[in-house]
């Protein structure tokens, strides 16, 4: 039996050539360069592939003096040790706390220095004082002895008085001299002791003062030490939290099991074989042509292998940032890509390609449906009439229901808890069955989270069912606040209260979330209401004022702004690819990273207003943009900025090159809308057949509050109102004003100025038209600083004694008809 030469590679050590991200998956291409081969059979095993790999998508190609004879794919337990890959940094040497010994102020050396010398001097003086006292006491005692001797001598007879007195005088003189010397010395010593005592007291006071100062410094040092220690403890706690967060993040992508790919190479035979599993038709190994005279050195047998596979845990989704300018009528659209990698692999320094292809077809296994005959017949008399029988066949309804259910169905995927997570090390608990129960609970929780996250992936952006999109749009409309809150608050106050949410905009997309606004939106100064640019330019559609003859425009040198590198776009059939510039590293993480794809400038932005005063007396602003680029704008979330003020986030619809799309910008507070209650004039006509009638008069007042002196331009408004539609021949409704309106007829002039001044007469134009279902529309062009009153008058006539009520089937609302 031939010896099999085995080699093992870890996938993290392989070079990543490219990663192609699709909306719901990713294709990874890795390289094995200069693989050493030995004559005979060689087994090259690549371990550590992420468990989210589609094992049927693994493919191997290569070049070299060998053929691929077999490929096996096996799901194995992760043999890597977590602590070896991610060493625990908790054992690193921590910052040593300062152990500086701060001297106790109570432990000061009182006998040190000058105080010690003074006290030694005091001791010597007291000794001298004792000697002086002793000398003085000796003199006093001698004087007593001398006096006693003199008395005794006087009592004796025959004593020489003169000699005795001389001797007494001489001795007493000596004693007196010694006594005086002792008194003088005692007095001098006492003075010296008093001076030394005062000096000692002064030194003691100075020492006490120094001690109090030392105590204060000690307490301050202790407090500073405690503060520094507290800071160190906080920093250490934050470091521990960050380590725990990183550890938790890493454990989310630590695979419990990994795929291993075993490639069998035969270096003795050069018959091309297939590298695809269970296939014998694909020739994927390219054998170099070797001349018959050339000899191959067995020690130089090498080959290059390319390993490619598809994973479902990596994808990309579009994201946009749209900046609108009402002064220049231009828009800047930044197209970004959010890259998500939730595998266990890190793709380093590789080429990133974004593709709009779904990389899978939901109906690839379904047969093309065939129309079944739709046969009808007359129903039996007396049966209940089914008005929907001729609208759709039973087969059509059944197929539609099956198709919708199939589109909503998510592809089956394993729970991430079964694929990822650090293994538990509590063997005792596992042996008693507790670990298994806990693991099952964790698997159920993570499976629910995985299903929720899968429903919100980029697959909904590219071809999601209409029902899902409508539900998401309704949900986003409820969560987002109409921008009128921020606009109106800007016009009312420089420091407004938090904006309140309102309903979605009729006829447009979901309302914008206006709870976040920059200083140009909520705190802007001036009457613009749409950011700093509008306020400086004199309103929403303010034009740049021309410079006077004596004025010159100063060009200020502006520092160059930082910009993003854009990607290269290529269209291939029905798929568009974007090659990101330079090499990128895509590591597994819970959040998506953002990469700039392209930046577009869209000119000729059309701003318009829509007013449905009957429901809401406000003017909704809408922008219409045209995609002049060669790329298709995919559906995705969009951050919207108007004149430098951040408005919120909305959804950008899919737009092909050359097509247009509209975005709702919320309520424009600069347009004032008044809609008072109707006026009614009732009357009765007829002699033989009494008929009651009522004339209803309504009026819509529009005022453009922008200043005309600041260069504000006229705005276009589409105003909607309605008259009732009769469902009974005896109930008649006729429109009186505007005159000449008829269903399907041309428009008629309408509108009157709100004031009688000469300047107010030139307010603009308004054309009224009557549509089906009683809808009356005015196409208004209203100049800045002007107002217009749009009148609507109609008569309702009905037989006497009767009254009109609204039908039970109200039908669609204006918003539903224009969706």
- Per residue in 493-504, pLDDT tens? 333 333 333 333
State the pLDDT at residue 285: 44
Rg (CA), the chain: 50
Give the Cβ contact number of residue 152 at 10 Å: 10
pLDDT at 283 (0 to 100)? 36
Q: Do β-strands 302-311 and 787-799 pair in parallel, antiparallel, or remain unpaired?
A: unpaired
Confidence of residue 479 (pLDDT cuts 50, 70, 90): very low
Do the strands 59-64 and 257-266 form a parallel or antiparallel pair, or are they unpaired? unpaired
Beta bridge partners of 620: 610, 667
Q: State how far the Cα of 71 lies from the Cα of 214, in Å rounded to an integer.
A: 82
Q: Which residue has the higher pLDDT, 596 or 299?
A: 596
Point out the least confidently predicted range of 128-137, 387-396, 588-597.
387-396
Q: Lowest mean pLDDT of 161-165, 203-207, 227-231, name the range.
A: 161-165
In the predicted model, is pLDDT for residue 47 greater than 80? yes
Cβ atoms 790, 750 nearer than 8 A: yes
| Better-scored residue on pLDDT, 438 or 618 | 618
- The sign of the CA dihedral 682, 686, 691, 693 is negative
pLDDT at 128: 84
Tell me which H or E stretch contains 586.
Answer: strand 584-586
Tell me what pLDDT residue 409 has: 62
Residue 501 pLDDT: 35
Indicate the pLDDT class of residue 184, thresholds 50, 70 and 90.
confident
Helix (H, G, I), strand (E, B) or coil at 144: helix
Residue 228 has what pLDDT? 95
Which residues partner with 337 through β-bridges? 318, 595
Q: How far is CA 630 from the centre of its chain?
A: 31
CA 369 to chain centre: 46
Across the chain, what does the average pLDDT equal?
74
Task: Report helix, strand or coil for 218.
Answer: helix
What pLDDT is stored for residue 561 in this prediction?
53
Farthest-apart Cα atoms in the chain, separation: 193
pLDDT band for 2, please (50, 70, 90 cuts): low
pLDDT of residue 662: 92
**Can you give the pLDDT at residue 694?**
85
- In residues, how long is the chain? 819
If one compares 639 and 515, the residue with the highest pLDDT of the two is: 639
Output the pLDDT for position 727.
85
Among 281-285, 417-421, 517-521, 532-536, top mean pLDDT goes to: 417-421
Neighbours of 588 (CB within 10 A): 21
Query: Between 524 and 374, where is the model more confident?
Result: 374
Answer with the residue of higher pLDDT: 710 or 506.
Answer: 710
pLDDT, tens only, 306-343: 999 999 999 999 999 999 998 889 999 999 999 999 99
Whose CA is closest to 257, among 396, 534, 437, 53? Answer: 53
* H/E segment holding residue 183: helix 161-252
pTM surpassing 0.85? no
Picking from 302-316, 361-375, 752-766, which range would have the lowest pLDDT averaged per residue? 361-375
- Can you tell me the distance from the alpha carbon of 164 to that of 185, in angstroms, rounded to the nearest whole number? 31
* pLDDT in the model for residue 298: 60
- H, E, C per residue of 464-497: CCHHHHHHHHHHHHHHCCCCHHHHHHHHHCCCCC
CA 471 to chain centroid, in Å, comes to 24
pLDDT tier for residue 686 given thresholds of 50, 70 and 90: low
Residue 247's CB is within 10 A of a number of other CB atoms, namely 17
pLDDT for the residue numbered 393:
78
Taking the C-alpha atoms of residue 717 and residue 542, their distance in angstroms, rounded to an integer, is 17
Report in angstroms the alpha-carbon separations of 428 from 434, 441, 442, 443, 811. 9, 19, 19, 21, 68
Q: Is the peptide bond before 738 cis (omega within 30 degrees of 0)?
A: yes
The confidence score (pLDDT) of residue 801 equals 76
Q: Is 751 within 8 Å of 778 (Cβ atoms)?
A: yes
326 in Cβ contact with 643 (< 8 Å): yes
C-alpha 759 chain-centroid distance: 51
Residue indicated by tokens 């003859």: 549
Ranges of beta strands (E only) in 326-379 are 330-341, 347-355
Residues in Cβ contact with 434 at an 8 Å cutoff, skipping those fewer than 6 apart:
none
Query: What token pair was written down for 367?
Result: 């047969």
pLDDT tens-digit series, residues 226-280: 999 999 999 999 999 999 999 999 999 999 999 999 999 988 754 444 444 433 3
Structure-block tokens of residue 79: 């043999």
**What local confidence, expressed as pLDDT, does residue 408 receive?**
65
Distances (CA, A) of 342 to 10, 252, 258, 582: 19, 9, 14, 22
- In this predicted structure, what is the pLDDT of residue 459? 38
Which of the four pLDDT bands, split at 50, 70 and 90, describes residue 155?
A: low
Band the pLDDT of 217: cuts 50, 70, 90: very high
Highest mean pLDDT among 89-93, 189-193, 244-248: 244-248
State the pLDDT at residue 502.
36
pLDDT of residue 125: 83
3-state SS of 410-450 is: CCCCCCHHHHECCCCCCHHHHHCCHHHHHHHHHHHHHHHHH
**Short-list 819, 469, 480, 420, CA closest to 649:** 480
Residue 417 has pLDDT above 60, yes or no: yes
pLDDT at position 193, please?
86
């Amino acid at each position: 039996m031939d010896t099999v030469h085995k080699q093992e590679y870890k996938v993290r050590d392989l070079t990543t050539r490219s990663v192609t991200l699709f909306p719901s998956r990713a294709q990874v291409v890795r390289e094995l360069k200069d693989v050493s081969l030995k004559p005979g059979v060689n087994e090259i095993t690549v371990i550590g592939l992420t468990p989210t790999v589609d094992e049927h998508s693994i493919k191997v190609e290569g070049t070299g003096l060998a053929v691929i004879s077999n490929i096996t794919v096996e799901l194995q337990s992760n043999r890597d040790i977590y602590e070896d890959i991610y060493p625990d940094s908790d054992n690193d040497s921590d910052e040593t706390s300062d152990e500086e010994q701060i001297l106790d102020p109570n432990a000061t050396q009182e006998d040190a220095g000058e105080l010690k010398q003074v006290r030694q001097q005091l001791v010597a003086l007291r000794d001298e004082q004792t000697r002086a006292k002793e000398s003085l006491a000796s003199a006093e005692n001698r004087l007593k002895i001398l006096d006693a001797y003199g008395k005794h001598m006087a009592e004796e007879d025959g004593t020489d008085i003169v000699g005795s007195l001389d001797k007494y005088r001489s001795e007493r003189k000596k004693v007196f001299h010694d006594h005086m010397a002792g008194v003088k010395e005692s007095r001098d010593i006492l003075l010296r002791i008093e001076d030394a005592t005062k000096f000692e007291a002064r030194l003691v006071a100075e020492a006490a003062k120094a001690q109090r100062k030392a105590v204060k410094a000690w307490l301050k040092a202790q407090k500073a030490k405690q503060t520094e220690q507290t800071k160190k403890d906080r920093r250490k706690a934050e470091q521990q939290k960050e380590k725990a967060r990183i550890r938790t993040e890493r454990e989310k992508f630590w695979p419990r099991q990994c795929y291993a790919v075993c490639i069998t190479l035969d270096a003795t035979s050069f018959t091309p074989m297939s590298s695809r599993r269970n296939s014998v038709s694909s020739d994927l190994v390219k054998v170099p042509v070797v001349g018959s005279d050339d000899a191959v050195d067995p020690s130089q047998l090498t080959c290059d292998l390319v390993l490619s596979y598809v994973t479902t845990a990596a994808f990309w989704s579009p994201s946009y940032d749209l900046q609108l300018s009402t002064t220049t009528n231009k828009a800047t659209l930044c197209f970004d890509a959010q890259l998500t990698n939730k595998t266990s692999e890190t793709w380093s320094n590789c080429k990133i390609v974004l593709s709009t292809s779904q990389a899978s077809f939901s109906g690839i296994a379904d047969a093309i449906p065939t129309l079944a005959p739709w046969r009808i017949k007359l129903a039996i008399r007396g049966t209940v009439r089914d008005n929907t029988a001729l609208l759709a066949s039973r087969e059509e309804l059944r197929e539609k229901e099956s198709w919708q259910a199939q589109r909503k169905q998510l592809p089956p995927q394993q729970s991430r808890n079964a694929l990822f997570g650090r293994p538990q090390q509590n063997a005792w608990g596992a042996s008693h069955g507790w670990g298994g129960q806990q693991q099952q609970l964790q698997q159920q929780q993570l499976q629910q989270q995985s299903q929720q996250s899968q429903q919100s992936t980029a697959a909904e952006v590219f071809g999601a069912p209409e029902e899902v999109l409508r539900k998401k749009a309704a949900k986003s409309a409820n969560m987002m606040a109409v921008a009128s809150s921020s606009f109106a608050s800007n016009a009312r106050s420089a420091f407004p209260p938090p904006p309140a949410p309102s309903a979605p905009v009729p006829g447009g997309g979901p309302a914008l979330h206006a709870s976040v606004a920059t200083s140009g939106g909520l705190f802007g100064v001036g009457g613009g209401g749409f950011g700093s640019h509008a306020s400086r330019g004199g309103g929403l559609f303010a034009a740049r004022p021309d410079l006077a003859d004596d004025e010159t425009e100063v060009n200020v040198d502006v520092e160059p702004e930082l910009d993003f590198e854009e990607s290269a776009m290529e269209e291939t059939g029905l798929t568009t690819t974007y090659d990101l510039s330079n090499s990128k590293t895509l590591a597994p993480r819970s959040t998506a990273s953002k990469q700039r794809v392209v930046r577009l400038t869209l000119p000729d932005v059309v701003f318009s207003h829509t007013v449905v005063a009957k429901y809401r007396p406000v003017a909704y602003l809408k922008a219409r943009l045209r995609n002049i680029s060669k790329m298709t704008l995919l559906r995705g979330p969009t951050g919207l900025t108007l004149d430098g003020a951040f408005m919120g986030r909305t959804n950008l619809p899919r737009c092909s090159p050359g097509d247009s799309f509209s975005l709702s910008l919320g309520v424009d507070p600069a347009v004032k809308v008044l809609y008072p209650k109707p006026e009614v004039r009732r009357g009765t006509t007829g002699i033989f057949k009494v008929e009651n009638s009522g004339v209803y008069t309504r009026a819509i007042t529009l005022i453009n509050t922008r200043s005309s002196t600041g260069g504000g331009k006229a705005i276009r408004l589409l105003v909607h109102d309605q008259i009732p539609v009769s469902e009974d021949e005896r109930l008649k409704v006729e429109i009186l004003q505007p005159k000449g309106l008829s269903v399907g007829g041309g428009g008629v002039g309408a509108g009157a100025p709100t004031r009688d001044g000469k300047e107010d007469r030139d307010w603009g134009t308004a054309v009224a038209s009557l549509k089906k279902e009683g809808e009356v529309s005015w196409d208004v062009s209203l100049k800045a600083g002007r107002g217009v009153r749009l009148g609507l008058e109609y008569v309702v006539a009905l037989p006497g004694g009767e009254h009109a009520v609204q039908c039970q089937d109200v039908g669609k609302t204006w918003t539903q008809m224009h969706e």
